[in-house]
Amino acid sequence: MVSLSTRSRYGTRLMMSLARHSTETPVQIADVALDQGISVKYLEQIALVLRKAGLIKTVRGRKGGHMLAKDPENITLEDIVAALEGGRHLAACVSNPHLCPRASRCGPRRVWQELSETLFEKLRLWTLRDVVRLEETLMNREDSSSHRDAAIFCLDSSRGLLSDRTRTACGRKDRDALRQ
């Protein structure tokens, strides 16, 4: 199974927590850790990487903590994952062909390169704001006993699933696909 590291998954959750409070006071890592069920020490390590990447900033002092360094609309999942995974490639040989003497004639390397490009191209389409809104909509849908007026996500070929529209704006085919 190919999967994202816990650093990327937890880092995304940290960034989402910060995005929810982007106009408020700085957020304490301990509060995010408690809310998300993640170790404080691990989140501190992740926050350091995200700060070095210019995605978050630290506010010192008694009421200090962490805040987004940019608007959530200007941070993509590509930015977060690339920072936490150490680059935009699935295999070291893709970004550093000199690591392998077979790189120039290696078929799998070309596949890893194409997969890397496709993955990060898709991650580039999702902003932090998009992911926060998606989660909020999913939570509202789950909490709502009546889905009649609830916002749902319609199929969108550019992202796979993301267009915040009302049920009436979606085509019947899209609504039926989402119910399954």
Q: Enumerate the CATH 1.10.10.10 domain ranges in the chain, comma separated.
A: 6-124
pLDDT band at 2 (very low <50, low <70, confident <90, very high): confident
pTM score of the predicted model: 0.76
**Predicted local confidence at residue 38, as pLDDT:** 94
CATH topology of domain 6-124: Arc Repressor Mutant, subunit A (1.10.10)
User: What angle separates helix 40-52 from helix 6-20, to the nearest 10 degrees?
Assistant: 80
| CB atoms inside a 10 Å sphere around CB 152 | 20
pLDDT band (50, 70, 90) for residue 42: very high
Q: Write out pLDDT tens, residues 5-16.
A: 999 999 999 999
Q: Token pair of 63, please? A: 């009421």
Residue 91 identity: A
**Are 38 and 93 in contact, with CB atoms under 8 Å apart?**
no
CA 78 to chain centre: 7
pLDDT digits (tens, 9 = 90+) for 79-133: 999 999 999 988 888 888 888 888 889 999 899 999 999 999 999 999 999 999 9
